[in-house]
Amino acid sequence: MIKISAKSIYLSLIVYLILKSSPIHASDYKAYGFIQPETSIFFNGKGRHGQKNTNLSIFGKGTFISYLQNDAAKFSINILGRYDDNDRELRYLDFQKLKYEYFLDDLEFKIGNDIIFWGVNETFNIVDIINQSNLAEELAGTKKLGQTMASLSYSHDYGKFDIYLMSNFQERSFSGKNGRPRLAMEIDKNTVTYESSAKDKKVDFAIRYSTVLDDLDIGLSHFYGNNRTPELKPNSSTLKFDPFYPILSQTGLDIQSTKGSWLYKLESISAKNGNERHLSAAGGIEYTFYGIQNTQSDLGIIIEYIFDDRNNSPLNNDGVIGLRWNKNDIKSTTFLAGLLIDLHGNSNRLQAEFEQRIADDLKLFVDFSLNGNINRGDFTYQFIEDSKMTLKIAKYF
Amino acid sequence: MKSYIFSFLIIVICNVHTFAMSDEEQGLKIAKDAYDSTRGYVDSTSEQIMILIDPKGNEVIREISGKNFENMDPNDGDKSLIFFNKPKDVEGTVMLSHTHVNDDDDQWLYLPALGRVKRISSSNKSGAFMGSEISFEDFSGLDYRKYDWKYLGEENYENEICYKLESYPKYKNSGYTKRIGLTDQLLRARKIEYYDRKGDLLKTIYFEDHKLYNESIWFADTFKVVNHQNDNITIYKWKNRLLNTGLDEKDFEKSSLNRLTD
């Protein structure tokens, strides 16, 4: 992640000039993207840290793909960025992908930035570990930052093996002082410490085996490196959090069984974080009713549950019930709603997203994030005043 | 002498029975011959454009490109890749399908916004494809193995004598109960009427712009789909269709999707 500055503008300019000057014919590449103004309104007035009750933001993404060397190689760029009116931590550019890949029969070699997703769940993606989460973007952690890596893959009839070496560790990004929602105290970026003596220069390692057996999609993975999730230690003199990144050794398993309209999903990890070992499992079912009431509409129901044997984990005994409505019309109208329930203390939060194409190259999004009953002891109690609605319009190029 | 005549009668009866196939057998034979005449393409690449027209005449355009790989297994279906290009908000999305004759297909979808490949349920073969009047099920509508058949006789269509065939889907999640189609003397489908789950006439697909590929296989390069219930029309056109291009079957595996996506 690069903070928007003179340096980042130069870097973008250099990439642009390289692309412009490279001898690529018009038919050999694809380029597309979108730019998306957004506005948010918070329902409970000002935030508890004095944050504004409205926000403006502009978000964008660009993708470039080119096949080289008679299609034996591929070069791709996927860059995204945001300029946020309130939160300085949301003024950034990130090369999600900036990679060169070479394909040779059963072998693949890659170098550069990439986004690697592991897992099957809709909500609780506990196996997914390669990329750092961008929590400033979204608390759920599904928004990621590009990870620099070199990887080698081998596929055969019995499955695919991937080996990753990762460098250039990215610290987790959190909302800044004026961000909303934000943690009780700011994150002190000058006091970051690591368990590894190599600190952020540590080369992380991961391996994954994945295969498809009829209706089963199976993945088995292991990761060894700096944990993406820091421990946040309150510092009584600076009144900020000092982040500490332990070494994580995590083995993960993910399985999906697809039987007609039923999807059955399971993710499980066994992890050693610093000196502590913990287990977590998350899974659920998804069922879709197709062509409800003799229309083209589909209605999907998603139920997922997460267990973690650490009592202090924010997600240790939580469930989600989701509905996904797909109108299957010309405007691709969809509505997704999920109710997140902490079964331990009966806290709940509703997340809803509506989207619809309003012109050939314009799409409207309306997102709701609404806090319901939240217990005082719950981790999310600090965000209780941060219920909001966000309106976004994406213009595609 | 008696037994001689009796044997003779049996032979005659059997022969008559063989020559005069039942309507079901004759329907199946025409459908099988028609399907077999489209086989041997090995693999194909194409660009496809859909024009979706509503009753007021408003038009929207969809663009995809496709790759297909022929499955030589007589009991299984082909493999396909669909690259979504337009509308622009779905650009970069790729769908991989391993089709099966009378079972759910295996389908994976690459979603560029999440950088994630999802195995998806394919029980909705009869759903609207990209908001059009065509469904995924219709792309394999000429596969004789998916239907029970009945020959209904001959009928004149655009000054040609065609075979009139009725067919009933075997697939339990089919969106149809019955189809009535016309197949011409070159074994090319010319039009098919589709009846919905309630038995009402739903839509007609007119197969147009027939072209002879590689001097051996006829493909209709335009499907005109008229929905009789909502009066929407979809014009589905194939462009730059190439057969036997030397694609690798490995490109049609989940493990290779990363080679084809961003």
Give pLDDT tens digits for A95-134. Answer: 999 999 999 999 999 999 999 999 999 999 999 999 999 9
Q: How many CA atoms lie within 13 A of B119 on its CB side?
A: 33
B253 lies within 8 A of chain A by CB: yes
CB contact under 8 A, A360 and B88: yes
Structure tokens at A348: 């709940």
* Minimum-distance CB partner of A32 among B54, B91, B259: B91
Distance, in angstroms, between B87 CA and closest chain A CA?
6
* pLDDT of B48: 97
B5 lies within 8 A of chain A by CB: no
Contacts of A142 in chain B (CB under 8 A): 114
Structure tokens at B182: 């016309």
pLDDT tens digit string along A37-57?
999 999 999 999 999 999 999
Contacts of B104 in chain A (CB under 8 A): 260
Contacts of B198 in chain A (CB under 8 A): 294
* pLDDT of B9: 53
CB B165 within 8 A of CB B187: no
* Minimum-distance CB partner of B131 among A103, A261, A329: A329
pLDDT tens digit string along B172-229?
889 999 999 999 999 999 999 999 999 999 999 999 999 999 999 999 999 999 999 9
B89 lies within 8 A of chain A by CB: yes
Q: Which residue has the higher pLDDT, B16 or A395?
A: A395
Amino acid A70 reads N
CB contact under 8 A, A396 and B89: yes
* pLDDT of A379: 84
Amino acid A327 reads K
CB contact under 8 A, A260 and B104: yes
CA B54 vs CA A212, B10, B67, B223: distances in Å: 41, 61, 29, 16
Interatomic CA distance for residues B223 and B236, integer angstroms: 5
B50 lies within 8 A of chain A by CB: no
* pLDDT of B100: 92
Element (DSSP H or E) covering residue B35 = helix B23-36
* pLDDT of B67: 97
CA A298 vs CA A273, A325, B135: distances in Å: 42, 6, 14
CB contact under 8 A, A142 and B114: yes
Per-residue pLDDT, averaged over A169-177, amounts to: 96
* Minimum-distance CB partner of B131 among A142, A258, A328: A328
Distance, in angstroms, between B167 CA and closest chain A CA?
22
Scanning every residue of chain A, which has its alpha carbon at the shortest distance from the alpha carbon of B51? A330
Question: Which of 2.40.160.10, 3.90.76.10, 3.20.20.70, 3.40.640.10 would CATH assign to domain A2-396?
Answer: 2.40.160.10
B87 lies within 8 A of chain A by CB: yes
- Selected for mutation to probe chain A from B84, B85, B124 (highest A CB count within 10 Å) is B124
pLDDT tens digit string along B136-158?
899 988 999 999 999 999 999 99
Interatomic CA distance for residues A132 and A138, integer angstroms: 12
* Minimum-distance CB partner of A330 among B52, B89, B115: B52
- Selected for mutation to probe chain B from A106, A115, A152, A258 (highest B CB count within 10 Å) is A258
Percent over 90 (pLDDT), chain A: 83
Contacts of B121 in chain A (CB under 8 A): 258, 260-263, 286, 288
* pLDDT of A260 above 60: yes
> Could you tell me the pLDDT band of residue B123, with boundaries at 50, 70 and 90?
confident
Q: Among the listed ranges A108-122, A296-310, A371-385, B88-102, which one has the minimum average pLDDT value?
A: A371-385
Distance, in angstroms, between A385 CA and closest chain B CA?
29
> Could you tell me the pLDDT band of residue A12, with boundaries at 50, 70 and 90?
low
CB contact under 8 A, B124 and A288: yes
* pLDDT of A7 above 70: no
Scanning every residue of chain A, which has its alpha carbon at the shortest distance from the alpha carbon of B61? A360
CB B226 within 8 A of CB B215: no
pLDDT tens digit string along B7-48?
555 554 544 444 678 999 999 999 999 999 999 999 999 999
* pLDDT of B3: 55
ipTM of the predicted structure?
A: 0.93
Distance, in angstroms, between B45 CA and closest chain A CA?
16
CB contact under 8 A, A397 and B88: yes
* pLDDT of A346: 79
Distance, in angstroms, between B93 CA and closest chain A CA?
12
Structure tokens at B27: 């329907």
Mean of all residue pLDDT scores within chain B: 92
Q: How many Cβ atoms from other residues are within 10 Å of residue B163's Cβ?
A: 21
* pLDDT of A264: 98
Model pTM greater than 0.90?
A: yes
* pLDDT of A189 above 80: yes
> Could you tell me the pLDDT band of residue A14, with boundaries at 50, 70 and 90?
low
- Torsion angle defined by CA atoms of residues A288, A291, A292 and A296, in that order, rounded to the nearest 10 degrees: 120
Contacts of A121 in chain B (CB under 8 A): none
Q: Which residue has the higher pLDDT, B62 or B171?
A: B62
* pLDDT of B16: 47
Amino acid A152 reads L
Place of tokens 């299984």: B76
* pLDDT of A18: 60
CA B187 vs CA B213, B220, B224, B225: distances in Å: 15, 12, 19, 20
Mean of all residue pLDDT scores within chain A: 93
Domains and CATH numbers, chain B: 23-260 (2.50.20.10)
The full set of domain ranges for chain A reads 2-396
